[in-house]
Amino acid sequence: MIKPHGSDSLNPLFVYDSEQHHALAQESINLPPLLVNSATSSNAVMLGAGYFNPLAGYMNKADALSVCESMRTTDGLFWPVPILNLTDNIDAIKDAKRIALRDPNVEEQPVVAVMDVEAIEEFSDDEIQFMAEKIFSTADPEHPGLATFVSLGKYCISGSIQVLNFSYFQSEFPDTFRTAVEIRNEIQEHGWEKVVAFQTRNPMHRAHEELCKMAMDAVDADGVVIHMLLGKLKPGDIPAPVRDAAIRKMVELYFPPNTVMISGYGFDMLYAGPREAVLHAIFRQNMGATHFIIGRDHAGVGDYYGAFDAQTIFDNEVPAGALQIEIFRADHTAYSRKLNKVVMMRDAPDHTKEDFVLLSGTKVREMLGQGVAPPPEFSRPEVAEILMNYYRGQAA
């Protein structure tokens, strides 16, 4: 099986031993508390689940700046975006060596992790701006990912963590949320050797379905892991439970049995385009995938990134040998009226735009909101029905 990134075996930071877990939970009651932001909490979930292997916790200032500058930590580990615990208020933890990180995304604000504080350092405004521009490839304050990042705080709390729970992801998505450990185990149970991973934060239409099948055929894969983001998105994106239901219906009806794993991970979308695509590749390697599909404008938003920037970064900025996972590069995929099937547009050079069934996201949302199903060449009718029910509910 493919090795995880940066180590021979996966090192999840969740405390699985029940006695140790109980002792930590009791200890955390009396530790200085820090109510973290959603980004820090989701970083803890990803660290706990093994997705951010081999990191042992949150990065310090030097590592964060180094990662932004060169995509390497100060000790040489390849990593594309800093994994940080940022806050704007350190009054409660100023002299603490051990603290309890409390989760802002669950009503009771439970302790998501216990942290050994190695350092509390302060970023200057210029350093925050420098990191933001490197991560998001823009200085535009309207970029949703950049706007979130610069609002998280200037104090950087670094150190190792022990994770006690997976926030709301395990309770709200019990059938879908899986750790990297669990996915690796399931891949082994299936006996799969070549495994394609597909990232989604949206429902899957015909083009996405066929893209998964194309990638599996092209690399002769045993199966595909449809791996959906379950964390916070930008306003207007379709909620995770609706996406989950739509994807499950599509897989049930239109994929061969025992070729698909449907799972999700607990992370907030960064919208960091190329750098986020590299992060996505790292944690798909950690969960055991050998191949990862990257299409047009992967992890992008608006017009901030070129259509294939998330692919070319693997040629231009990811050093040879830094990752074991292989990238399957996809073009825009659409239904061809000429060929009566879904194709990658680059593979149909004799086509004009009119030869494809193309609908903008805005147009699709309008149709669904009006109770009009998109054409079956674009969306499977059973999937469209689930989405129409959601939009009807929104309008009611």
Q: Which residues are catalytic?
A: 201-202
**Nearest C-alpha neighbor of 246 from the set 392, 388, 393:** 388
Phi, psi of 121 (to 5 degrees): -125, 160
Task: Name the H helices within 54-205.
Answer: 61-70, 125-136, 144-150, 169-172, 180-190
Planar angle of CA 112, 115, 121, nearest 5 degrees: 120
Secondary structure element (H or E) that encloses residue 280, with its range: helix 274-286
Under a CB-based contact definition with an 8 Å cutoff, are residues 262 and 199 in contact? no
Q: How many C-beta atoms surround the C-beta of residue 346 within 10 A?
A: 11
Measure CA 326 to chain center: 17
Under a CB-based contact definition with an 8 Å cutoff, are residues 276 and 83 in contact? no
DSSP 137: S
DSSP 78: B
Q: At what angle do helices 125-136 and 274-286 cross, to 10 degrees?
A: 80
Euclidean distance between CA atoms 40 and 345, whole angstroms: 39
Euclidean distance between CA atoms 72 and 64, whole angstroms: 9
Euclidean distance between CA atoms 86 and 89, whole angstroms: 9
